[in-house]
Amino acid sequence: MARVVAGIGLSHVPSIGPVVDRGRQGDPAWKPLFDAYVPVREWLARLKPDVAIVVYNDHGADFLFDKYPTFALGVAERYRIADEGFGTRPLPEVRGDAELSTHLAESLVYEHEFDLTVCQELAVEHGFLVPMNLCFPHGASGWPVACIPLQVNVIQHPLPTARRCYKLGQALRKSISSYEKDLRIVILGTGGMSHQLQGKRFGFMNEAFDQMFLQKIESSPDELADITHQEIMEQAGAEAVELIMWLTMRGALSENARRIHRHYYAPMTTGMGLITFEDGQPKAM
């Protein structure tokens, strides 16, 4: 039986891509961020997940406004690297797990009433790739895990509510647990934290809000799922609504999931948060 072994909430800031591609992880301005992921990768190496389900959003690379799905699930055997307007990054194609994707699509639609858009072709960009760079660096033979992209509309209102994203995570957990193969699965919820990238309020960040969010996603996610888009945008900037995708990750974990890592770094215009949870452990007595 497949099961969720871990969940990770993390930011997917595009400027991290060129830093990785140019090997600048040790630069003083970037070192604090990359250092935080060293223990995360060691932890993941011990957990040995088979599949990463990456909850992310596209930024106008593959999903355009002619048709914009609220939730879109990749069901392919492989995913191309997208050119999002700055050239295609030198990264290996992403290996999918079409069989698991198909099970998830069927279970989510038939059993849990999440009527997803399904994608036989999907090209991934920084929203997906930066979290992969940080958690699962690729080698000569490709990426160390199979991946399933789950794209969420967080850029064109009406967006799904935070509660809906949380419920999607809960449904995802049930769908995973009804899959016959013995797979270890990690869920990545990506995006944010506080940032606003347009208007006179460009560059707005709010560390107090971000720390609150990190605390609550650990201790009281159900309460956090009541947060509105308006509250997030007012307190953390218009583009911070990406944070609702972290709730899908948290919804996919059990109540007694144990928090392992937590980090925060806000160098330029985005609060870059990191939180990890380990799941599937017996409840502490």
What is the token pair recorded at 5?
């072994």
Q: Which stretch binds other proteins (CB under 8 A): 45-53, 91-99, 100-108, 236-244?
A: 236-244
Is there binding between residue 190 and other proteins (CB under 8 A)?
A: no
Q: How far is CA 25 from CA 22, 30, 151, 166, 177, in A?
A: 8, 6, 27, 33, 37
Map the footprint of other proteins across residues 29-58, applying CB under 8 A: 29-30
Task: Check if 157 is active-site.
Answer: no
From CA 250, how far away is CA 248, in angstroms rounded?
Answer: 5
Nearer to other proteins, 15 or 256 (CB): 15
What is the token pair recorded at 255?
């109540």
Nearest distance from residue 57's CB to other proteins, in Å? Answer: 9
Task: Check if 126 is active-site.
Answer: yes
193 preceded by a cis bond (ω within 30 of 0): yes
Contact 268, 196 (CB under 8 A): no
Return the closest-CA partner of residue 249 out of 223, 215, 278, 283: 278
Contact 243, 228 (CB under 8 A): no
How many other β-carbons are positioned within 10 Å of the β-carbon of residue 109? 15
Among 61, 73, 236, 253, binds other proteins (CB under 8 A): 61
Map the footprint of other proteins across residues 138-177, applying CB under 8 A: 155-158
Among 90, 223, 230, 283, binds other proteins (CB under 8 A): 230
Single out the catalytic residue among 12, 59, 112, 126.
126
Single out the catalytic residue among 103, 195, 229, 263.
195
Is there binding between residue 80 and other proteins (CB under 8 A)?
A: no
- Residues marked active site are found at 126, 195
Q: Which residues would be at the binding site for other proteins (CB under 8 A)? A: 14-15, 27-30, 59-61, 64-65, 82-87, 155-158, 196-203, 228-230, 233-234, 237-239, 266-269
